[in-house]
Amino acid sequence: MKRPALVIVSAAVFLAGCASVPTSGQVNLGANVTGGNSFDAVVPVVRPPRVGDSPVEIVSGFLQANVSASDDYAVARAYLAPEVTETWNPATGATIINDSNGVQLVRRGSRVLLSEPQVGQLSSVGTYVPSPRNTQLDTDFTVRQVDGQWRIDGVRDGLLLTPTTLNRVYTSAERYFLNVDESRLVPDRILVPIDR
């Protein structure tokens, strides 16, 4: 009785894994982002918001803090308004942006705008996909005062990382799938957070 159930569950897991493996389409080369390794990893020390931080400083601090997964991104959540702290979901993946000139933030009223070249996307399961050349990420953060201090009350789910921070706080790992005729395992390299 247990063996048929095990076979059915194994088949379902196998088929679910294969459902996301592309079988056709164009191959695009992108930047080589491999993740660091746990031996040379630098776990960042991030700071919470300071009293009197401006809207741009709050967004900048949030972007620096969202590299640390410690305590479910507790320091990054400190930059958010209370209701957003509960709804922001960092586990949806990450957008990797180019920081060669530093991340530029511009305030427009209650919004802080970010417009940077996008290098790639990291899925919620750690699969890295390079972005097509000349892809631009344009996003904004809305801010408001909470108890006299600026906090972010509008932010997209997921993380915003740079290639440098990605390589510092993620490491590569491999997961394996059976090939079509089930004769061998095929590796799939993924990136996983170091401090989780």
The predicted-structure confidence for 37-54, as pLDDT tens digits, reads as follows 444 555 668 999 999 999
CB of 183 within 8 A of CB of 114?
no
Describe the chain by its helix, strand, coil percentages, rounded to 5.
Answer: 25, 30, 40
Helix (H) or strand (E) holding 192: strand 185-193
Domains of the chain in start order, with CATH, are 42-193 (3.10.450)
The predicted-structure confidence for 61-116, as pLDDT tens digits, reads as follows 999 999 988 899 999 999 999 999 999 999 999 999 998 778 899 999 999 999 99
Name the pLDDT band for 6 (thresholds 50, 70, 90). very low
* For range 117-146, the mean pLDDT: 96
> How are beta strands 185-193 and 170-178 bridged, if at all?
antiparallel
- As a whole number of angstroms, the distance between CA 177 and CA 174 comes to 10
* For range 126-146, the mean pLDDT: 96
* For range 182-189, the mean pLDDT: 92
| 30: three-class secondary structure by DSSP | coil
| 11: three-class secondary structure by DSSP | helix
